[in-house]
Amino acid sequence: RQRHAQVTLRGDGDSCLPPKTAIVFQDMHDGDKKTVREDGDHLVIEPYGNDEKWTVKAKLDKPNCRAMVDFRVPGKPSPPPTDLLLSIWIEFRIPSEGEVISKNTIEFTDPSGKLNPDPTFPLNTWVMLLKNQGTGSTQ
């Protein structure tokens, strides 16, 4: 049985994430939450729901929804020893009835090969929390 869905990617044509909103992601490696938002041509990453105080800003390659990220900033505990490539993905769930549900996932890889010799190997993923999961948006 086939199901078809019509999906519009990047509704405003200029954003990799939902615009004007800090999105809450579950960090599958660290076990905590982070917010990610677009600020012009940059991504801004900050801790969420804990006492940590740090900010990472990374230049965003908008056509490819990717950014090289350096987590070695003051206040960030246990940062990776090298910059990581952040790639924004879109996941879909197509229920038997109702609308298609989509959310973003962020994947981190190491193009330098320092952490894994395969530059495409996923080192970590962050999964967007939807509003019905408690903290899907800070808006």
Q: How many residues appear in the chain? A: 139
Residues 108-135, mean pLDDT to the nearest whole number: 90
CA atoms within 13 A on the CB side of 121: 10
Higher pLDDT, 31 or 96: 31
Contact 76, 56 (CB under 8 A): yes
Chain segment 60-109, per-residue pLDDT in tens: 999 999 999 999 999 999 999 999 999 999 998 888 888 888 899 999 99
Query: What tokens does 70 get?
Result: 């350096």
| Short-list 28, 39, 49, CA closest to 123 | 28
Residues 10-23, mean pLDDT to the nearest whole number: 74
Average pLDDT, the chain: 87
Higher pLDDT, 28 or 98: 28
- The 3-class secondary structure across 16-45, one letter per residue, is CCCCCCCEEEEECCCCCEEEEEEECCEEEE
